[in-house]
Amino acid sequence: MPTRKTTKVPPPQLSHAQRLIIASNRGPVEFQLKQDKTLKARRGAGGMVTALIDAGNRMEVSWVAMTMTDGDRLAVKRAEEENGGLLQSPIPGQKMQLRYVSITKDAYRKHYEKISNELLWFLQHYMYDPTQESASNAQLQDAWTNGYTVANQAIADAICAEIEREDSVPVVMLQDYHLYLAPLMIRQRHPTILMQQFIHIPWPDIRCWHFLPSNIAQAIYSGLVGNDIIGFQTERDARNFLEGVRTLLDGAVVDFEEGAIWWQGHRTQTRSYPISISVTEERRVVNSAAGRRAAEDMKKLLCENTIMRVDRVEPTKNIIRGFQAYADVLEQHPELHNKVTFLAFLVPSRQTLPTYRRFDGDVRALIEEINNKYGTDDWTPIQAFFGNDRARALAAMQYYDVLLVNPIIDGMNLVAKEGPAVNQTDGVLVLSRTAGAFQQLAKGSIPTSPTDVVETSQALYKALTLSPEERRMKATLARQAVERSDLNVWMARQIADINELLERTFANTTATNAVSSDIDPHSGTPIVANMA
């Protein structure tokens, strides 16, 4: 297949700041403990790591995160003995120091499983069901106090240690829903530090937040307005947050037109930054040796018409309704039997949680049911690949005729952008209107309602039967939308807003120093000389 040319744009850089401190729950490097007790490091997955590392490759970068593995904990222990807790990244090309934070396994379980993933994840994806029995209020408050708050305080303390390690000016960038309390904790110790936080998942209507105990909802909002800038995936998410501030934080002044908040003497700016992918990186993986090997394997599985999906096995991804819609296509259009196949690349997720284990079992059972009902000796309607093999999934997406992305709701959904970026066959995207990516990809996709199986079935059939001209037009529109707003653009917009604040702070500091030194801040001339 021909390789599309992509131009590497220089990463955006911070002005008036010498250091970038990044914080997230999961770090950019994962340490695995081998049988001989030595540590093996591998780069963390995901575009966020690539974007943030690229942005800081001309300055000092440190990354604060929680330990996730026994290897992480051993690496931290050795670092504390040898270097005050700092680890130099062992990954080639990464000029970065790591400060990993350990809390007790019980506290981390309460933070990560009980609050972050069982509560916040489902609440923010509009899937929290208040009619269902859940943890008692006592259990919830315990997980909040002795889990989520403990983890956030540990991250905040580590960030403060990084701030205090040198005299040079740092910028702090926090990531996602695991760290809602940390900004205010940091602000209380460092009132002038510049902080920005990006929320990768949806921000729901204030009525959803009212399902939570008031102390938890208020702590989340007051924690977040400790930031100078809060980034959301869409304008709708940002506006929902502003409505929540007006409702939950007494005395807050909210300017909806400016997207600004004033609370307790501090100004917070909200922005929307739709996250994207590194088009260059995705295509590099596809054209790597591993990508080419995977492509050859995938070609053997292609049919006259090939539908694909790539997802974590996660209830919000709506995998079951997607397969039900495909089954409806097979039921309504028997002429497609033996002429269509569905390749599903499914990544197991959060298997410690009962909800996820049940969902995984339901997905596997439905695949077996559809294959038994419609399959023949020489045709398997659904071929599922369980496992985390990114090169295989990207390589396969070069060849889809239809890519189904039908989440119930998503902050963005990067598969909807990866597919058009690497596809070589004018493949058509079927996309939920409730995915954040729909805002940018509507014209390049066939829309569907994620909970309507019949509508999704009709969208799949339409995608399979579009004329070559229509297919080419939609595929081109989707690809161009991704190329116009890639990961570098996402990062550049955030850095530009941070730089604007840095410029303002620098100018104010210069003016203050000039006045205190009897110097005209505009001309640099002594004020006494002007008077003469």
| Longest distance between any two alpha carbons in the chain, whole Å | 100
- Over residues 205-234, mean pLDDT: 97
Which residue in 315, 359, 322 sits closest to 454, CA to CA? 322
Kindly state the DSSP code that residue 435 receives in the 8-state scheme.
B
* Architecture of the domain made up of 279-484: 3-Layer(aba) Sandwich (3.40)
Q: What is the average pLDDT across 511-518?
A: 56
**Which residues is 410 bridged to in the sheet?**
435
Backbone angles phi, psi at 345, to 5 degrees: -105, 105
Q: Is 57 exposed, middle or buried (0-12, 13-18, 19+ CB in 10 A)?
A: middle
- Rounded to two decimals, what is the model's pTM? 0.90
Residue 473: which H helix or E strand, with range? helix 468-484
Inter-residue contact 516 to 31 (CB < 8 Å): no
Asked whether 2 and 282 are in contact (CB, 8 A), the reply is: no
185 Cβ contact list (under 8 Å, min separation 6): 152, 153, 156, 223, 226
Does residue 524 have a pLDDT over 50?
Answer: no
Mean predicted lDDT score pLDDT of the chain? 90
**Cα-Cα-Cα-Cα dihedral sign, residues 481, 483, 484, 487:** positive
Q: What angle do CA 200, 203, 204 make, to 5 degrees?
A: 150
Whose CA is closest to 206, among 246, 257, 250? Answer: 246
φ, ψ dihedrals at 89, nearest 5°: -60, 130
Residue type, 104: T
Rounded to an integer, the average pLDDT of 334-355 is: 94
CB 119 within 8 A of CB 139: no
Q: Measuring CA to CA, which residue among 485, 78, 25 is closest to residue 276?
A: 485
Cα 120 to Cα 116: distance, rounded to the nearest angstrom? 5
What span, in angstroms and rounded, lies between the C-alpha atoms of 255 and 241?
12
Closest CA to 400 of 341, 480, 451: 341
**Mean pLDDT throughout 409-413?**
94
* Alpha helix (H) residue ranges in 279-399: 279-286, 289-299, 319-332, 354-374, 390-396
| Cα–Cα distance measured from residue 181 to residue 157, given in angstroms and rounded to the nearest whole number | 12
Local structure of residue 336 (DSSP, 8 states):
G
What is the side-by-side order of every strand in the sheet holding 445-448? Answer: 382-386, 340-347, 305-312, 402-405, 428-432, 445-448
Q: E strands within 102-244?
A: 170-175, 194-198, 229-232
d(CA 165, CA 244): 36
Give the DSSP H or E segment for 2: none
Taking alpha carbons only, the member of 189, 195, 190 closest to residue 171 is: 195
pLDDT for position 9: 57
HEC readout, 380-421: CCEEEEECCCHHHHHHHHHHCCEEEECCCCECCCCHHHHHHH
Euclidean distance between CA atoms 230 and 224, whole angstroms: 8
Q: Is 232 helix (H, G, I), strand (E, B) or coil?
A: strand
Contact 519, 527 (CB under 8 A): yes
Q: How confident is the model at residue 45 (pLDDT cuts 50, 70, 90)?
A: low
Mean pLDDT, residues 516-523 taken together: 47
Q: Over 60: is that where the pLDDT of 4 sits?
A: no
Distance CA 420, CA 478 (A): 6
Class of domain 19-127+138-272: alpha beta
Q: How far apart are CA 458 and CA 472, in angstroms?
A: 20
At residue 525, the pLDDT reads 43
Task: Please report which residue ranges of 85-178 form alpha helices under DSSP H.
Answer: 105-109, 121-124, 137-143, 149-165
Q: What is the pLDDT of residues 183-192, one digit of tens each?
A: 999 999 999 9
If DSSP codes are grouped into helix, strand and coil, which group holds residue 344?
strand
pLDDT band at 58 (very low <50, low <70, confident <90, very high): low
53: confidence class by pLDDT, cuts 50, 70, 90? low
Judge whether residue 30 has pLDDT over 90. no
Compute the distance between CA of residue 317 and CA of residue 321 in angstroms, rounded to an integer.
9
The residue ranking higher by pLDDT, 395 or 81, is: 395
In CATH terms, are 19-127+138-272 and 279-484 the same topology? yes
Least confident of 296-310, 412-426, 507-521: 507-521
* CA 208 distance to own-chain centroid: 21
Give the span between the Cα atoms of 299 and 308, in whole angstroms. Answer: 13
Lowest mean pLDDT, pick from 140-149, 273-282, 500-509: 500-509
CB atoms within 10 A of CB 58: 12
Q: Where are the domains of the chain?
A: 19-127+138-272, 279-484
Burial label for 406, CB within 10 Å (0-12, 13-18, 19+), is buried
- Distance (Å, whole) CA 344 – CA 305: 14
DSSP state of 379: B
Pick from 329-333, 429-433, 467-471, 488-492: least confident: 488-492
